Structure 1
Amino acid sequence: MSLLSIIVPCYNEEESILLFHEALCKQVDQMPVDYEIVMVNDGSSDDTLKLLKQLSAIDEHCIYVSFSRNFGKEAAMYAGLKACHGDYAVIMDADLQHPPYLLKDMYAAISEEGYDCAGGLRISRTHDSRLRKFVSHNFYQVINSLSDVEMKEGEGDFRMMKRCMINAILSMKEYNRYSKGLFSFVGFKTKWIPFEDEERAAGNSKWSLKSLFSYAMEGILSFSEAPVHMAMVLGITLCLASVISLGFLLFAPSFAIGLVTILLLLSGIQLIFIGIVGKYVTKDYMENKQRPLYIVKESNLPL
């Protein structure tokens, strides 16, 4: 019988983890697979770890890995994939916004229909604010126009993969990770299964607009060189424009004011693009340090 690994990153999920476990088991117990639930505690400050230990004590399918601090969801997903033993693996959030009932369709797609991956495609955002919807929609427009990898609006981390795809993801050990881009980069035949937006089982979202913006910038910088090319083109254009403007300003009564305005504009644009280049250099600097993606404090993984 095939083994399905269910990877669950957990950060302060004490209110929802038991509800998630109950709903998940109802679904996978009906599937023709053996399964393991790999729950990764990403440095939670509440009782998440205590509950994960309780679940692992009463349910032999449950495995927990606990980080020494919060390393982020990207690290938690990587740790779960690295720890799992399944022929297939699925990544799910613990807040039940990734509906467990979709697992049967995902499994059928990759075990019977010839797909390497089956992902959930969220087709509505009824529980998001207008601002959040706007940012999300425009992010996919921007990144698809700037990068060589294609990402669908509504796709996320909720996907089931064959072992060949799991190994491909694990082979990319970069420190600065953007899994949505990595999933697209490795390719493999993927089926998208639409589902309606689900409300959180409990608690509040851990993703603020600031963290979503930072995550979006990570995606753009990880999979596109366009910002650097834009800096070069704009720099050349501004140099030419400043030469022309200076010619006009020599004969204008407000020469001094105009000159100061141009200098301030050019200085501001220079600083913006120096910052962009600096972000790329910083990412390369962090890669060269070769620090671990995460540090495990404790686990019940079999030796």
Structure 2
Amino acid sequence: MDKISVIVPCFNEEDVLPLFYQEVTKVLESIENTTYELLFINDGSSDHTEDLIKLMAHKNKQCFYYSFSRNFGKEAAMYAGLENATGDYVVIMDADLQHPPYLLKEMYRSLKEENYDCCAGKRIDRTGEGKLRNFLSHSFYKVIQTLTKMDMDDGAGDFRMMTRQMVDAILELKEYNRYMKGLFSFVGFNTKWLEFHNVERQGGNTKWSFKSLFSYAFKGIFSFSSTPITIAGVIGGILIGISLITSLYSSFVHPISYLTSLVLFLSGIQLIFVSILGQYCSSCYFEAKQRPIYIIKNTNKKLRS
């Protein structure tokens, strides 16, 4: 009998957790010849999320919770779930029901019968999201695919079911600065995509502000591409060429009055490039420290790692 582990990162999800639990257990219990475990990762929630998942664990012996000592972020929560999942097949999904539980049946069938290593959900629209957010998200995925040459399409998220072999491969990647969408693509394996329409949150508010989305986007770029450094070098060379031409023009033709503005512009460009280099240096700095990706404060299950 196959075992399915479902990892659910939670950060202030008290409004939607009861409905999520009801929907996902109904689907899991309907999948024949399988058993399951639900791993709720409480990522430093400040509401009653921990109380709810403890109650679920008390009522259902197939539910387990891991509460972090503080908010470490969704990437750390997913990694903690992968480290402690014991299933033959492992699922990552959000608690807000934007990842439809009914797809779990088809995901399992695809892995079991069609020889795939991963079956992932892919949103085909962004109904209900603002136009600016939609545009920025679509643009980001175009940029990151160009820079990294990896398969990270718009609409392809963390919602997926993976074989134990693929999960073990991801766990081999111990880096502190994690970008899971990139790691899923990096390890390879055969992936089947299941398309679904965007579903609005069933309760609570999104935890992704524009600031956090931009930070997440830059983390993805700097984790999987050195192209920004190359671009910085190319632009630097172009600017040197422009400065030489400007100097010759100033010496032989006519004094240039906007020299101060040019100096300020070049200084600004230099600071941007220093910032780019700093991002890579800081990433290496945090990796060198070898700090734990997460710290568990309490749990109702023995840790595997």
Q: TM-score by structure 1 length?
A: 0.98
Q: Distance in 1 between matches of 2:185 and 2:128?
A: 26
Q: CA deviation at 1:249?
A: 2.4
1:77-130 residue CA offsets vs partner (Å, 9 max, x unmatched): 000010110000000100000000000111011111110000000001011100
Identical-residue share of aligned pairs (%):
54
**Counterpart position of 1:152:** 153
The residue identity in structure 2 corresponding to 1:296 is I
| Equivalent AA in structure 1 for residue 272 of structure 2 | I
Instruction: Report the equivalent of 2:56.
Output: 55
Q: For 1:39, give the aligned amino acid.
A: F
Q: How does 1:33-182 map to 2 (within 5 A)?
A: 33-182=34-183
User: Structure 2 CA distance, aligned partners of 1:24 and 1:115?
Assistant: 23
* SS of equivalent residue, structure 2 residue 102: helix
CA distance in 1, matches of 2:231, 2:70: 38
Q: Aligned partners of 1:43, 1:250: CA distance in 2, in Å?
A: 63
Tell me the equivalent position of 1:262: 262
Provide the C-alpha distance between the structure 2 equivalents of 1:17 and 1:51, rounded to a whole number of angstroms.
Answer: 8
Normalised by the length of structure 2, the TM-score is 0.97
Aligned partner of 2:11 in structure 1 is 11
Q: Does the Cα contact within 8 Å between 1:24 and 1:100 map onto a contact in 2?
A: yes
- Quote the residue 2:292 is aligned against: 292
Q: Work out the CA distance in 1 between the residues paired with 2:71 and 2:137.
A: 25
The Cα RMSD (Å) is 1.0
- TM-aligned CA deviation for residue 61 of structure 1: 1.0
Partners of 1:100 and 1:6 in 2: CA distance: 11
Runs of 5+ in structure 1 lacking a partner? none
Amino acid at match of 1:281: C
SS at match of 1:150: coil
Instruction: Give the conservation status (yes or no) of the 8 Å contact 1:246–1:259.
Output: no
Alignment length (residue pairs): 302
* Contact 1:120 1:156 (8 Å CA) reproduced: yes
What do residues 242-299 of structure 1 show as CA deviations (whole Å, max 9, x unaligned)? Answer: 01011112356652x3221221111110000000000000000000000000100000
Distance in 2, matches of 1:62 and 1:302, equals 13
3-state SS of paired residue (1:64): strand
Q: Which runs of 4+ in 1 moved over 4 A?
A: 251-254
CA distance in 1, matches of 2:225, 2:302: 40
Aligned twin of 2:221: 220
SS of the equivalent of 2:154 reads coil
Q: Does 1:272 align with 2:286?
A: no
Q: Post-superposition shift, 1:195?
A: 0.4
Q: Give structure 2 stretches of 5+ with no counterpart.
A: none
Q: Distance in 2 between matches of 1:270 and 1:199?
A: 43
Matched letter for residue 166 of structure 2:
M
Distance 1:266 1:251 in 2: 22
Structure 2 letter corresponding to 1:167:
D
Answer whether contact 1:12 1:45 (CA < 8 A) is retained.
Answer: yes
Once residues 259 and 200 of structure 2 are traced to their aligned partners in structure 1, the CA distance between those partners, rounded to angstroms, is: 55
Contact 1:249 1:259 in 2 (8 A): no
Q: Distance in 1 between matches of 2:31 and 2:227?
A: 45
**Number of the residue aligned with 1:283:** 283
Amino acid aligned to 1:194: E
SS in 2 for 1:29: helix
* CA–CA separation in structure 2 for the residues paired with 1:146 and 1:302: 41
Inter-partner Cα distance in structure 1 for 2:251 and 2:207: 56
